[in-house]
């Protein structure tokens, strides 16, 4: 089992999860984070830290395509191991519906 960042993270990109990850398996895109499935140790400490409940175990049927998206983009985006401020409009974007269409394949800054 691994944990997966889902579409709820898009345009929110809170990084509370990054701060608690003991293996630094998060990678940063322009408008969301992903988890590298081969690096995740399945500890689950990140899941309750996400204020928008974007992190789910891969056994959750709602993750759908997001497991593949996490695996693909974790190989392309820079690692993020330290918490950063959320985008200024993160709270406004937390409850947006159909966020998948807002996904950006562009990398973030990492740290």
CA distance readout (Å), 20 to 3, 48, 55, 69: 14, 10, 13, 22
* Domains of the chain by start residue, with CATH: 3-80 (3.30.70.20)
Q: What is the pTM of this model?
A: 0.94
| 3-class SS string, the chain | CCEEECHHHCCCCCCHHHHHCCCCCEEEECCCEEECCCCCCCCCCCHHHCCCCCEEECCCHHHCCHHHHHHHHHCCCCECCCCCCCCCCHHHHCCCCCHHHHCCCCECCCC
**Residue 110: pLDDT band with limits 50, 70, 90:** confident
How much is the pLDDT for 1? 77
pLDDT tens per residue across span 23-62: 999 999 999 999 999 999 999 999 999 999 999 999 999 9
């Amino acid at each position: 089992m691994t944990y997966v960042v889902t579409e709820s993270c898009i345009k929110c990109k809170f990084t509370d999860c990054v701060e608690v990850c003991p293996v630094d398996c998060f990678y940063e895109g322009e408008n969301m984070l992903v988890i590298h499935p081969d690096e995740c140790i399945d500890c689950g400490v990140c899941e309750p830290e996400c204020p928008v409940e974007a992190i789910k175990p891969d056994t959750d049927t709602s993750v759908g395509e997001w497991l593949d998206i996490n695996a693909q983009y974790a190989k392309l985006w820079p690692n993020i191991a330290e918490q950063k401020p959320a985008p200024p409009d993160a709270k406004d974007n937390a409850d947006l519906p159909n966020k998948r269409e807002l996904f950006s394949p562009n990398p973030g800054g990492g740290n």
